[in-house]
Amino acid sequence: MPVERYEGIRLGATPEEIEEEVERGVLLSTLDRAIGWARKQSMWPATFGLACCAIEMMATGAGRYDLSRWGMELFRASPRQADLMIVSGRVSQKMAPVLRRIYDQMPEPKWVISMGVCASAGGMFTNYAVVQGVDTIVPVDVYVPGCPPRPEMLMHGILTLQKKVRTEEPFK
Ligand code: SF4
């Protein structure tokens, strides 16, 4: 008699192994995967550029690089309709509370990409007027290095974030 195989369950396993499979939660892991897939495929970035890095971000959204391949072409003018903040450029001390307010206005779940060395660590602006790392203001999920990062690097950062979103567990 042929042995049937179901995805995630290996028939012919020992009772302990089957119990382990069931404990991992066949139904929940499938639902997790579906939610992660839906979230990663429908990320809408906030329209938010701070300095020269923003030009590269705009190029990433334009025709040549075409962010819409990943369902992300809809840069939203309202933070209430966005779930991704791309911090593209240096953050001045004056801008920091505004950036935080925009982040707070975005609905959960939300993610942040720090684009460029200025946003991530202050870059060449090692002075009192510029925030030395945007992760002191908002939680950052992915750091994109470079000055400025090319559109390919931002796209790599976005794909890295999508991988993270796809594999995270939404109910934890
Ligand atoms: S990392 Fe370079 S390109 Fe980006 S904001 Fe700083 S100086 Fe401008």
Q: Report the CATH number at residue 108.
A: 3.40.50.12280
Arithmetic mean of pLDDT, 81-94: 92
**Residue identifier of the C-alpha nearest atom 4 of ligand 1:** 53
Quote the DSSP letter at residue 4: P
The total of other beta-carbon atoms located within 10 Å of residue 28's CB is 11
The answer to whether the peptide bond before residue 109 is cis (omega within 30 degrees of 0) is: yes
Report yes or no on 93 lying in a domain.
yes
Report yes or no on 33 lying in a domain.
no
Does the pLDDT value for residue 57 go beyond 60? yes
**Residue identifier of the C-alpha nearest atom 5 of ligand 1:** 89
Task: Quote the domain boundaries for residue 83.
Answer: 42-167
pLDDT of residue 87: 93
Does the pLDDT value for residue 137 go beyond 90? yes
User: How many angstroms is it from 9 CA to the middle of ligand 1?
Assistant: 50
Q: What is the pTM of this model?
A: 0.78
Does the pLDDT value for residue 129 go beyond 50? yes
Domain count across the chain: 1
**Residue identifier of the C-alpha nearest atom 6 of ligand 1:** 118
**Cβ of 55 below 6 Å from ligand 1:** no
In angstroms, the CA 35 to CA 80 distance is 20
Report yes or no on 22 lying in a domain.
no
Q: Which of 39-48, 52-61, 91-100, 108-117 has the lowest mean pLDDT?
A: 39-48
Q: Which of 66-75, 113-122, 126-135, 139-148 has the lowest mean pLDDT?
A: 66-75
